[in-house]
Amino acid sequence: MTKHKVGYLIGSLARESINRKLAKALARLAPPQLEMSEISFKDLPLYSYDYDANFPPVARAFKDAIAAVDAILFVTPEYNRSIPGGLKNAIDWASRPYGKNSFARKPSAVIGTSPGAIGTAIAQQGLRSVLSFCNSPQMNAPEAYIQFTPGLITDAGEVTVESTQEFLRNYMTEFGMFIARVLQVLPRKVS
């Protein structure tokens, strides 16, 4: 069984984010062939093309972390019917400078949780549009809009509702199969 490194980006910068709890749960429920690691972007400055000629070290490290993984999982809340500004800023850094887009040909999936009944549906659609432009092959099904209720996921990432736990386990299994299919057709470039 081929192992795949999956980097996950948590859209919220809040330490107590419910999406951070969801990310922990997904890492726990991932099949053994997926090696999960968070890629943090909290220290990135606001992107400007003025940096394109000489990225600051934190931005180079961020791009290197994305280059080191086989796939990206986005775990994001919805802020004002969109993705958080910090996540969009991180995507802008990773996709620049022109011709050095870190997401091109890299499999991705999008998931998120919110207390609202439609989860993060609108933010996810916006993020999918951005990822399409970035040429990132996306897992389109199953879609996952998780309504967060108190106690659904513990701080340690344990899912307390069996049906939700099974859904999330299946989601990660499907993501693993999607990554394998994409990389079979679009193998990673070895540098």
Nearest 10 degrees: Cα torsion 154, 158, 160, 166: 140
For 36, the 3-state DSSP assignment is: strand
Mean pLDDT value across residues 86-91: 98
Question: Would you give the distance in Å from CA 83 to the centre of its chain?
Answer: 12
Does residue 191 surpass a pLDDT of 60? Answer: no
Amino acid at 49: Y
- What are the helix and strand counts (H, E) for the chain? 5, 5
Model confidence over 98-139: pLDDT tens digits? 999 999 999 999 999 999 989 899 999 999 999 999 999 999
Q: Is 142 helix (H, G, I), strand (E, B) or coil?
A: coil
User: CA–CA separation, 67 vs 85, rounded Å?
Assistant: 22
Going from the C-alpha of 23 to that of each of 14, 52, 156, 179, the distances in angstroms are 13, 31, 10, 18
Q: What is the pLDDT of residue 190?
A: 58
Whether residue 57 is preceded by a cis peptide bond, meaning omega within 30 degrees of 0, is no
pLDDT at 187 over 80: yes
> What is the C-alpha to C-alpha distance for residues 45 and 50, in angstroms, rounded to an integer?
12
> Is a pLDDT exceeding 80 seen at residue 1?
no
Q: How far apart are CA 85 and CA 109, in angstroms?
A: 19
3-state secondary structure of 172: helix
> Any idea what the Cα angle at residue 140 is, between residues 130 and 35, rounded to 5°?
90
Confidence of residue 9 (pLDDT cuts 50, 70, 90): very high
Q: Where do the domains of the chain lie, and which CATH numbers do they carry?
A: 4-185 (3.40.50.360)
188: pLDDT strictly greater than 90 = no
Please report which residue ranges of 30-69 form alpha helices under DSSP H. 57-67
pLDDT in tens, 21-40: 999 999 999 999 999 999 99
pLDDT tens, 32-72? 999 999 999 999 999 999 999 999 999 999 999 999 999 99
Q: Per residue in 129-183, pLDDT tens? A: 999 999 999 999 999 999 999 999 999 999 999 999 999 999 999 999 999 999 9
Cβ contact 142:170 at 8 Å: yes
